[in-house]
Amino acid sequence: MEDLKSIENKIKEISENYKEEPTGGYITGDGPVPCDILFVGEAPGKTEVEQGKPFVGLAGKTFEKYLNIIGLTRNKVRITNTCFFRPITIKEGKNGKVTISNRTPKIKEISLFKEILDAEISLVNPKIIITLGNVPLKRLTSFKSIGECHGNLYFNEDLKRYIFPMYHPSALTYNKTEEFNKAYYEDWVKLKKVLETQKNKIF
Ligand code: URA
């Protein structure tokens, strides 16, 4: 089995050798190993690369707020991503001003890290994997979209592990309706219940 150091070295090697599309740095997962609870996000953004940790930017603040609401803290969970480099789009405006923005990782970019994420899951050996948004959901399950499965617990036969799909925390930035806020909060409450009631079964 791979150890953490070799996983980190491979992330560095893959990220530094990838020249097909623009990228803006890379990070590794964060948190204890092994760990019963693993959150899997999409890909790091600017702040994550600057600080070398997943979910420390705007979406990360939302994520951590809800994590704390259900009585968990970052040091109790492992957090990682599906794509370990920051996928970016670089645009030059008419005035010559260059803007850099995040983009969703392409399928080929997610594939580059398939073995890395699998190795991290094996090493972390979580009892439950919480996918954040569509990118990790589609990478790890056969669900077509987060809308059809969020807030429910599934046993994934391929991984032989429980999966709990959730919306990505940045969805709250795009959908500010009271209805969505409520649904998002309720998913966290459901996760809390799952962690409590499944404790004897899966932990
Ligand atoms: N969004 C993600 O999906 N991952 C991060 O690490 C940060 C923001």
pLDDT in tens, the chain (203 residues): 789 999 999 999 999 999 999 999 999 999 999 999 999 999 999 999 999 999 999 999 999 999 999 999 999 999 999 999 999 999 999 899 999 999 999 999 999 999 999 999 999 999 999 999 999 999 999 999 999 999 999 999 999 999 999 999 999 999 999 999 999 999 999 999 999 986 666 66
Spatial distance between the Cα atoms of 80 and 15, rounded to a whole number of angstroms: 16
Give 86 Cα–ligand 1 centroid separation in angstroms. 9
Give 44 Cα–ligand 1 centroid separation in angstroms. 4
Nearest atom, ligand 1, residue 79 CA: 6
Nearest CA, atom 3, ligand 1:
42
- The amino acid at residue 82 is T
pLDDT at 4: 96
Give 94 Cα–ligand 1 centroid separation in angstroms. 31
pTM summary value: 0.96
pLDDT at 203: 64
Task: Report domain 4-197's class.
Answer: alpha beta
Beta bridge partners of 79: 30, 39
pLDDT at 199: 66
pLDDT at 169: 98
Starting from the edge strand earliest in sequence, which strands make up the sheet with 85-92, in order?
23-26, 85-92, 98-102
- Domain coordinates of the chain in residue numbers? 4-197
Tokens of 118: 């699998």
The 10s digit of each residue's pLDDT in 103-117 is 999 999 999 999 999
Spatial distance between the Cα atoms of 187 and 84, rounded to a whole number of angstroms: 26
Give CA angle at 43 (183, 182), nearest 5°: 10
